Each structure stands twice: as C-alpha cells, then as structure tokens.
Amino acid sequence: MRHVEPHVFLIAKTAPDQPEMRNWLDFIGAKEFALPPAEAATIGNLLVTLAGKRCYMSYQPGLNPNVSKVRTDLAAFIDNILKVGHGSVIEHVNYTFAIENVSRVFTAEFNRHRAGLAVSEGSMRYIRFDDLAYWIPESIRDSEDDSPELREAKQKTRIVFNKAFSQMEENYQALLDIWNYESLQKFKEKKKLTSLFRRLIGMGVATGGVWTGNLRALRHIFTMRCAPAAEEEICYVASMMLERMIEAEPDVFADFHKEDGYWKPRYLKI
C-alpha cells in the first residue's frame, strides 16, 4: 500500500501548418492577412482566429463588401468569440493530457463528459494490481484550523483507509495464490482472473490514462468541475489542468478567475 499524488502532463496539442495556411488564405483572397510568427501566437489564438474570420471573411476590410473594419488584435478577437458565445469555433484545437495517480472516483466522473473528449483509461482487467496506491483526500489531511475533535476524526479516518487498502492488497494476493496465478502462461487466462480479482479493489485506487479535449469541451469541463459543487478530487485535478491551459492558451482561458479559492469563467456555455 502506497500514498500517491495526482500528476497532470500536457503531452500534445494541435499543430499549425503555416505554409498551407498561407496557401489557403491567398486562395480565398485574404492576401493582406499577415500570419503571426509561430512564437507570437498560440495554436488556439491562430486557428480559432482563422476559423472565426472565415465565417464572415473578415481577414481584411473589403474582402467581404459588408465588412469595412476588422479586429487585428488576436486576444480581442478571441475575447469577442467567447463573449458572443460563438463556441463551435474553438472546437478546432485539441490538447492532450496524460493524468496519473487519480482514482476511479475521478475517472468515473471525468469520463461522463462525452462531447469533444477522447478517453484511454488504464485497464483494471488487463493490469495486475500487486501494489495498491491511493491519494489521501485533502478533506482528511491535517489543517492548522482543525479543532482537536476534527483532527482526531481525520487521523482515525486515515488509519481506516490504510487498513482497508492493506486488506485489499492481502485479499488480492490470496486470490492470486488460490488460483496459482504465477504458474499461468496464457495471457487470456491471466486476463480472465485479473478481471475477476479487480472486483475486490476499492474505487479510490490510483490509476491513470490519456484524455484529449477540444478547447470548448475543456472550458465546459473546467466550468463544471472546478466549481465548489464538484467532488474534491475532480476539482483538485481539473484545477491543475486548467492552470496548465491558462499557461498554454492565455487568451482562450483569459476569463477564468479565482473566486473564494475556486476557478470560475466570466463567459458561460459558449
């Protein structure tokens, strides 16, 4: 039995193809629209702007005879997209997270988000669990403001958690012994048994996986899951993810701000 901490890795994102973007812009007559140098714009800024401007052909004045003035500042353009709720435009950009040491409590809730989210979760059927690890929720960690009664309750709860996970490990090992697991050769037989044994493991067990979301899906997930009503682990991990996204896409997530310790967007349901 081990204690672990959740880790969030931002491992991939949509990549621009600037020469092909230029070819396309020239093809549609947007020759005056200057693509920013790669280091001057995030992929979110660039692709959202290109896709958004395609809707009204607002790359340069006069390209659409109805448009005499265009926004050239990318941050202002993105802010307007969010403000007017033109959310489908931000679906073009994907970010991929590898998330480790989160529980099945986290994944069961996170995986309920279907629109715009791709999921590859660690299998408890194929993976053999010899060593069970879990995250100690913040709500049972000591805090300076705790009353003596609360401190005692938290301490006793942690003892019960440790006991339960040690017991689960023992039970799992007992099943491995009963079924003489070490002697099995065929992967199919092993898989059948690990699939059976996992039923004894509590949903607090640490696992992980890979999640890819488009910017619109990610904004929605953070809105729901970084809020005070969210479950504590999903709120903790989603907030870590959001902080990475604010760093990666400062304009698309510019309206998220902290209120009483929780992240909240200014623009809802875009």
Ligand X SMILES: Cc1cc2nc3c(=O)[nH]c(=O)nc-3n(C[C@H](O)[C@H](O)[C@H](O)COP(=O)(O)OP(=O)(O)OC[C@H]3O[C@@H](n4cnc5c(N)ncnc54)[C@H](O)[C@@H]3O)c2cc1C
Give the residue with the Cβ less far from ligand X, 224 or 254: 224
Q: How many CA atoms lie within 13 A of 261 on its CB side?
A: 5
Give the residue with the Cβ less far from ligand X, 115 or 178: 115
The one-letter code for the residue type at 188 is: K
Cβ-based neighbours of 185, under 8 Å, separated by 6 or more: none
Give the residue with the Cβ less far from ligand X, 25 or 217: 217
The piece of 9-17, 91-99, 106-114, 168-176 that touches ligand X (CB under 6 A) is: 106-114
Structure tokens at 37: 């140098």
Give the residue nearest to ligand X (CB).
113
Structure tokens at 173: 């090992």
d(CA 270, CA 221): 12
Q: Which residues of 230-261 are buried (b: 16+ CB within 10 A; e: fewer)?
A: beebbbbbbbebbbebbebbebbbbbbeeeee
The piece of 14-22, 112-120, 133-141, 250-258 that touches ligand X (CB under 6 A) is: 112-120
Identify whether the C-beta of residue 246 lies closer than 8 Å to the C-beta of residue 253. yes
Q: How far is the CB of 13 from ligand X (least distance, A)?
A: 20
Q: How far is the CB of 244 from ligand X (least distance, A)?
A: 19
Q: If binding is defined by CB under 6 A, does position 119 make contact with ligand X?
A: no
Helices (H) then strands (E): counts for the chain: 8, 8
Q: How far is the CB of 87 from ligand X (least distance, A)?
A: 10
Q: If binding is defined by CB under 6 A, does position 230 make contact with ligand X?
A: yes
Give the residue with the Cβ less far from ligand X, 112 or 258: 112
Pick the closest to residue 192 from 167, 209, 175 (CA basis): 175
Q: If binding is defined by CB under 6 A, does position 264 make contact with ligand X?
A: no
Count, residues in the chain: 270
Q: If binding is defined by CB under 6 A, does position 115 make contact with ligand X?
A: yes
Instruction: State which of positions 135-164 bind ligand X (CB under 6 A).
Output: none
Give the residue with the Cβ less far from ligand X, 15 or 229: 229
Structure tokens at 204: 């607090």
Q: If binding is defined by CB under 6 A, does position 112 make contact with ligand X?
A: yes
Give the residue with the Cβ less far from ligand X, 154 or 219: 219
Query: In the set 224, 240, 246, 254, which binds ligand X (CB under 6 A)?
Result: 224
Paired sense of beta strands 262-264 and 206-214, if any: unpaired
Instruction: State which of positions 48-87 bind ligand X (CB under 6 A).
Output: none
- Crossing angle for the helix pair 43-56 and 74-84, to the nearest 10 degrees: 70
Q: If binding is defined by CB under 6 A, does position 228 make contact with ligand X?
A: no
Query: Within the chain, what is the greatest distance between any pair of CA atoms?
Result: 79
Identify whether the C-beta of residue 92 lies closer than 8 Å to the C-beta of residue 214. yes
Q: How far is the CB of 258 from ligand X (least distance, A)?
A: 19
Query: In the set 113, 128, 244, 264, which binds ligand X (CB under 6 A)?
Result: 113
Query: In the set 15, 37, 39, 114, which binds ligand X (CB under 6 A)?
Result: 114
Binding site for ligand X (CB under 6 A): 112-115, 220, 224, 229-230
